[in-house]
Homo-oligomer: A and B are copies of this chain.
Amino acid sequence: MDYLKLIALKDFPLVQPNDDLPSLILKSLKLNSVVLEDGDVIVIAQKIVSKSENRYKNIDEVIAGRDAEELAKKLNREPGFMQIILDESSKILSTEKNVIIVEHRLGFININAGLDRSNIEQDNNIVLLLPDNPSASAINLQESISRESNQSISVIISDSMTRPYRSGVTNFALASSNIPSLIDLKGELDIYGNSLKSTEIAIADELSAAAGILMGQGNDGQPVIIIKGFNRDKYSKNDAFNLIVNEEDDLYR
């Protein structure tokens, strides 16, 4: 590969529950005069996937259990909000420093279980959850856009995430379809003919981060990015869930 082109779809409409996301994307592609080609990668913000799947929850309608009440007291947050976080998590890792760090039921580690209170409607009691099954969402989006456009495209659903050791958020791959997400270079040679020792590349996270540059986090509202030029056929395809490392294999834990 010697070039990549990233295009943000301008004026993407605000997504409502039960909107047909593939057809919104196809319409917006047309309005932006972007023609899909075989191998194009469409990076879609998790937020609009969750919205189309109506993953809203009203904090006031949640009955908080004892653990949630205790957490709420400790962190000075709403018990209902704490309960939703607990429901979305398989394990609490830390409640120090005024945040909850959890292992999400989907496996990855993050703050507040990926719950979102920005870029959603102005009702402060509403939170937006991650898609129920992001992999299934990615496959659906990929298959239906591929079918309608008659091109074999790839899809990444991406979200922004804080990270240990580094300031600021970057985008990462929550789920993917029809693309290599983790590339294994074992057995390949470096430019001097030495065999490479480690080297797995988190390519779906790099594609997500690249798309994140154009998505922005503020009011720019560019939740769909098209990436052209990525050669997905050199490596075998695998789901972005391969980017989650379990505790035993995590060198830092």
B-binding residues in A (CB < 8 A): 1-8, 10, 14, 94, 97, 99, 101, 108-109, 111, 117-122, 160, 162-172, 182-183, 185, 188-194, 196-203, 205-207, 209-210, 212-214, 216-219, 221-222, 230, 242-245, 249-253
Contact = CB atoms under 8 A, between A and B. Distances in A.
A250 B5 CA distance: 34
Contact of A188 (B111, B122, B219): B219
Which 3 A-B pairs have CB atoms at the shortest separation, nearest pair first?
A168-B202, A210-B210, A209-B209
Contacts of A162: 198, 251-252
B109 A185 contact: no
Contact of A210 (B120, B206, B217, B243): B206
B8 A191 contact: no
The copy count of this chain in the complex is: 2
Most chain B C-beta atoms within 10 Å of own C-beta, residue among A94, A120, A250 = A250
A211 B202 CA distance: 13
Given A164-B164, A167-B200, A191 B5 contact: no
A245 to B, nearest CB: 5
Given A108-B165, A118-B199, A163-B202, 13 more contacts: A3-B5, A111-B251, A119-B190, A164-B250, A165-B244, A167-B244, A168-B201, A168-B243, A169-B201, A170-B202, A170-B209, A171-B206, A188-B219
Given A189-B218, A218-B190, A242 B1 contact: no
A101 B197 contact: no
Nearest to A163: B163
Contacts of A188: 218-219
Given A4-B5, A167-B244, A219-B190, A213 B202 contact: no
Given A206-B212, A218-B196, A250 B165 contact: yes
A206 B209 contact: yes
Given A182-B168, A202-B170, A4 B214 contact: yes
Contacts of A183: 168
A219 B189 contact: yes
Contact of A164 (B10, B94, B197, B253): B253
Given A209-B210, A210-B210, A169 B3 contact: no
Contacts of A185: 217-218
Given A2-B214, A8-B1, A209-B170, A197 B245 contact: no
A185 B198 CA distance: 37
